[in-house]
Amino acid sequence: MNLRKNNEKDPKKKYANEVHNLTQLEAAQQDLDTLLEAAQATIATMQAAISAIPTPWPVGSVFTSYVATNPATLLGYGTWTQIEARFLVGYKSGDADFGTLGATGGAKTHVNSIDPPVTTTGNPSVSGDAHATDGTQLHTRHPHTHDIDIAAFNSAAASHLPPFEVVYFWRRTA
């Protein structure tokens, strides 16, 4: 026997079924509302926890990578300025070269110049006898002279780069 057909024929039973179904729907709706409130509270708690986490690479930090892509694209935040063709050196308080944050210096190549402060005219000479520290004469020949030539010297351009490896550096500015 089919109960559905019997319930459809009896209006009281049909009404009781609808009331029962409506009661179950209302209870289910209350359960869903409770779950939604709990989910929203969990989301708010998680958002608060996430916002409490310090941002990696705060303003002023340096990002190092083998990838040329701007960190704003990679990380999804910040304004970054690329540092190009520079070695990074640690800060040292009071040091003339390394005591100012952001200072730059150095050169990729340089020329060594030696220009003796002695100025002479003609051929300078040295004469006399050679003696040991105890006064014994070491050189017994007749007095004579040796010509010396003091000249300025300039080397070709030279590079004294330490061993290096090229990477991308980015400084976060905002």
- The count of domains in the chain is 2
Rounded Cα gap, residues 155 and 149, in angstroms: 18
What is the structure's pLDDT at 17?
81
What is the structure's pLDDT at 152?
67
Q: What is the pLDDT of residues 34-91, one digit of tens each?
A: 999 999 999 999 999 988 888 889 999 999 999 999 999 999 999 999 999 988 989 9
Sign of CA dihedral 59, 65, 68, 72: negative
79 & 43 share domain: no
Q: To which residue do tokens 């779950």 refer? A: 35
Assigned domain for 151 exists: no
Q: What is the pLDDT of residues 2-25, one digit of tens each?
A: 555 555 677 778 777 887 888 888
Supply the pTM of this predicted model: 0.50
- Give the mean pLDDT of the chain: 81
28 & 48 share domain: yes
25 & 42 share domain: yes
48 & 78 share domain: no
- Residue-range definition of the domain harbouring residue 64: 56-89+165-174
Assigned domain for 14 exists: yes
Residue 49, token pair as written in the block? 């926890």
Assigned domain for 121 exists: no
> Going by DSSP bridges, is the β-strand pair 125-127/145-147 parallel, antiparallel, or unpaired?
antiparallel
